[in-house]
Structure 1
Amino acid sequence: MSSSSSQTFLDTVLDALVDPVLMTDADGVVTGANAAAIDRLGAGKYVGVALAEQASRGEVLSEQGTRLGWSEHPVALALATRQPVTRTVIVAPPAAFPTRFRMTTVPLESDGRLIGTMSVLHPPASVAATVAAVASDSDLSDRAARLEAIVNLVSDAVFVVDRDGRLLYHNAVGARLLGLPQNVTLDERARRLQVRDADGGMVGPEDFPSMRALAGETMAGVPLLITDPAGETRHVVTGAHPLRRSDGEIYAAVVTMKDTTDEVRAREELEAARENAEEANHLKDQFIAALSHELRTPLQPILGWTEVLRRHGSLDAITTQALEAIRRNIRQQVRLVDDLLDLSRIVHGKLALRFESFDLREQVRAAVEPFEEAAALRRVRLTLTLPPEPVMMWGDGARIQQIVTNLISNAVKFTPAGGQIAAQLVAGDTQALIEVEDSGEGIAPEELAVIFEPFRQGGASRRRGGLGIGLDLVKRLTELHGGAVEAVSEGHGYGARFSVRLPLRFGRTTPPSAAVPVARRLLRREILVIEDNPDTREVLKFMLEAEGAHVETADSGQEGIRLARASRPSVILCDIGLPDVDGLEVARRIRRVAALDGSRLIALTGYGQPEDVQHALDAGFEAHLTKPINLDQLLELLAGS
């Protein structure tokens, strides 16, 4: 091979390689770089520049990220020792992201005289196994010998074929990749392989990279799948370049292949893991929604008949006490279900806060007052201290009330008879502080460190019951408002103090006016209840008729549609989970009946996820109530009809 042909051959192979290659003279001045080095390292501007100067500017760092002095640079070490040097370095060119490489540098000699170095920079996971082929006393004065050294050092497979597809040369990586025996043409070996493109389509011999390059085409970064006769498939990224004589005639081709099987499989495994995680999350959401429905549905008749007895029964003291206990425990059960659903929504980024301006005092008071009776029954003194003036805040008032409710609920649960719970709201200029302090069981230091993590329960929590999600929900809801929560305790037996700090972002400086009381009677109102659960159906009928309404009931979707068309009620309360035609379809069919345009459609269901509400509104419902509802809530909604 002539000197010029050898140089062309060398340049073509270097530019086909994926890994950056740098050449220097004996003084460490860069004399050449391949295309990968120019593209990835900006090495074009270093040609003619001493690497010592680059090192002095801090553009080459050690594996630990500290500046690498010139004396520790792989090129300097190879020049000084005349031995191959391999080190991990971080290349940090100006205005570019630092990249970690495994840099292998070998000294180049000619007739025993040091003439320079050659360096190959591999990604850490693809370092060539050996540089033994490039001995320090190798005679590299011949360009073919230099080519031999380079292609055996890089991590790509390199093949050179003649016009007939005969294999003129392959490096060690290429032999391992394709299992090449001696005296075989690349075309012959390729015909024994099954070659497919990235879409899985078969690649015929005429479209092999080598044949396309021999036809004058240049290829780069083409992904292929190669399956050998034993059935093993490898993913490769290929490139191919024609080699031309001085007159332009193509006499050979260079083909490079980079084995990307491990990278592709890692991506596939990561994608499969992501899909599995998404499916698991979807199944979990479905389970939580179904669990919510199953837990809420039986609570509706319990709460409903309790309300009926309270409002219309002649009760003695014991019965009244029993009914209040039932109501308290129903509310607690509902809170547990709500907390579980809210935590799931927050984790998935689906909880939407409804921001408005409100008086923070009212939300704190509304959270604390329902526990006064429970605290009194446990002989625990519960006090609440509020500022005399309004504390206006911009946020979701219902969620703030939920925060305080969880803290008070915990305090009541863990404070023994004779203990005290003090809740207070303190307002500053830009921040409000809500504190709940109790004289209860306290928190051990090891439990305090993880107290806000989900499903964490200390010994006391396990004895008292609960799901271990309340405090995690407190923390997440507080942070969604831009605040912070802290727990302090001296240990078991010393009580605990929880502090919630919230920013005061004023929506308006005056509190909202008091709401006008709504009419509570439903005299002569025509109401249709569509509900398949007989207990819920009957208690709703009784409650509404006691308020003066005329109520019809249906136990299925089809029956409900028939009655709606016949009686044209002013209000239709409809369950979603009906056995024949679900409530969403019932709403859609009713909305198509012109005579029912004036009827109000209200969904009453155990499904309460945000998407459930949206599905109901999209189907034609004007409101969505989640079971169990109390009579006051329903009457307030119906008052405007």
Structure 2
Amino acid sequence: MMYEFLLNNKFELEQRCRDKVAKRPGRSASSIQLQNGVPLFLEQLIKTLEIEQTSNPLASRAVSGHAGGASTLSEVGASAAQHGKALLQLGFSVDEVVHDYGDLCQSITDLAVERDAPFQIDEFRTLNRCLDNAIADAVNEFSYQKELVIAAQVAIELNERAGFFAHELRNALGTASLAFAAAKAGNLSLHGATGTILERSLASLSRMIDESLVDIRLVGQQAKILTAFSLADFIEELAAAAQLAAQAKGCVLTIGPVDRLLALGGSREMLLSAVANLLQNAIKFTHAGTEVRLTAYGAADKIQIDVADHCGGLPPDAEATMFLPFAQAGTDRNGLGLGLTIAQQSVIACGGSIKVRNLPQLGCVFTVSLPRLAMPD
């Protein structure tokens, strides 16, 4: 079994990865730098492989995520994102993010060949899935954090430009004021030298104002103004109302942990209505005694909110029509069939998107993707 091989050779593999890292120019690997990297990923890989040998192999997805590139909350994704963020803070490039996980894959392969360890094809598929998800989440978080750094630098530059602009305006206005005061005190003609100075100063003021208006229009066309608010508080408010509906239906509402440093953008009221409609829909169609799960997490520059139910899976072609007004796919026709339509329109109005993933014989997962913003002070 691969998980037994990895467990027995864990320290050897970690050391080989450190050796590979040390050979790359300008890169060293301390335990602090790697605590969210290779060692933790290796533990999660072992845990995933071990779970997949049990009677419920799909439970491993909570540890290492799904195949196919879908963004979901998982232990591998969370720690990989932290690793990507740490490498950016240490001044490394995105190449280093990819290389760190590639080193582990190469180390596992080399050691397996040396020890003549046989692995099953499904175990290699699991290894590849874990690596793909870890690399994707690490690179996404690295890129997002880098964009934040660039945005902060741009804000500093804009602040400096505003300071320069105010300074030049004050100079031009000061010159114009002096010229006007001199002309007034000496009863001078505005056709002379003093009048010329006043005229040039006023022209300079007019030019600077016109240029600033052009900049303002360009910035307004390129950026949307979104209101940032706490994701954790948002989810807590939703959960309080949805718990009552879940109890009445005889199902369980489970809320996943939410990072209190995450913030999302848009109209809070519209988004509360949107996600509340998704929760109501999930509770309505989920089977009694099963679970509706609400999770929210960061994925690069997006906030993802998942609402998963146990409705038994979607009917054929339901995905194509479920967001249409008055569409009702289930046997329960209580309501007007507008909840999903309202949810979709509200999410789109806030600059986000919504999609559904069918889990045949199990249920479905609605995923709302929204802009991720910096936490307001």
TM-score (norm 2): 0.38
Greater RCO, 1 or 2 (C-alpha within 8 Å, sep 6+): 2
Bigger fraction of residues in strand: 1
Bigger fraction of residues in helix: 2
